[in-house]
Chains A and B, each alone.
Chain A
Amino acid sequence: MTLELGKYTSFVLSAYVITIVLLALLIIYVLWRNAKSKALLQDAELHKDA
């Protein structure tokens, strides 16, 4: 089925693009925070015995 979006193409595409961008930002934020927490914990565990 050929993809033919008619006159609303710009709306549909913009909606999808914005959603994907926002979701991507959210996922990046969550993963970044996850990595930061891992580093923080390792650092604390390291000094625990020192």
Chain B
Amino acid sequence: MTSLKLNLGPQHPSTHGVLRLILELEGELITRCEPDVGYLHRGMEKMAEKLSYIQYLPLVDRIDYLAGFFYSELLCRNIEKALSLELSPRVKAIRVMLLELNRISSHLLWIGAFLMDLGAVSPFFYAFREREVILKYFEKISGQRMMNNYFVFGGVRNDIFDIEEIERFLEILPHKLDDYESIITDNLIFKKRTVGKGVLDPKIALNFGITGPNLRASGVGYDTRKKDSLYEGFSFSPIVLGNQDSWTRYKIRILEIHESIRIITQAIEKIKANPELNNNFINPLNIVLPEGEYYSEIEAPRGVASCYIKSDGKKSPYRLKWRTGSYYAVNLLRKLLVGEYLNDAIAIAGSLDIILPEVDK
């Protein structure tokens, strides 16, 4: 059987960005899949070595433009740990609220994109209708919808206001989620396309460095929010589902949105509890970290994200490395797609929630 070499991407509607998969097909069966990345490589780590910390902060939202808050929080947390800047309780509550809102908007976009991969047209627009409310709120608070540059070392740029809009939104959201669930979750065709497809065994997942919702859908309850200092005092339980296929990866993200809603309601109470926002800002022009290495870690929507800074006492870091979730999910495709058919392959790749800016950094 002569094998057909097929280029999936880089300009392809269902790869959410510029991912190129070189597939070898026999008929429609994939025998080898080799991802080729680097089309969106902006040299984030090289830029860091040339810019001072305050100059690098706005660029950090671009690492994963759907979850910008997470990466500016990572950098701020690293610097605050190095310079031991204390955060006031209100700032912590604001940060948790905006992080979880960003997680909801990222999951909503994924639901729309995943359904569009499978061919259903309308859930995409319904998910974007909800996401628009969140982005409008980000714009009102921070000034930009996605590249918000709102967290600063030692606090947030300016205070949060109009929380009632978010409270109203949190009442509507569960009903809208039930709308999606009634269209999608038990739909016969959706179940045929996703149940039992792309089974990810926990051992393989751990071996491939998969973290976040994909890992929790395979039964391993690893959620860094439990050990995260920012999330102390928030009662939440990470969701772990067992049966490892695309359908559970879809279901776990719906449950995570419900979980985030609970966290946000607690955060809003904390914000209302302590009204005054006392940031302790530092002079931005000469932020110099004492020599040494600093790690910080956070539970981004697509997996554990972490930032490593090695500083040698100069204005810009000696070495800065990012760890992102989708980077290892793309590597997983090499094993997961082998033995699948072409239209199942697209559905499985979609279910892993791969975003290319994260992969290419």
Partners in one complex: no
Instruction: Give residues in A with beta carbon < 8 Å to B.
Output: none
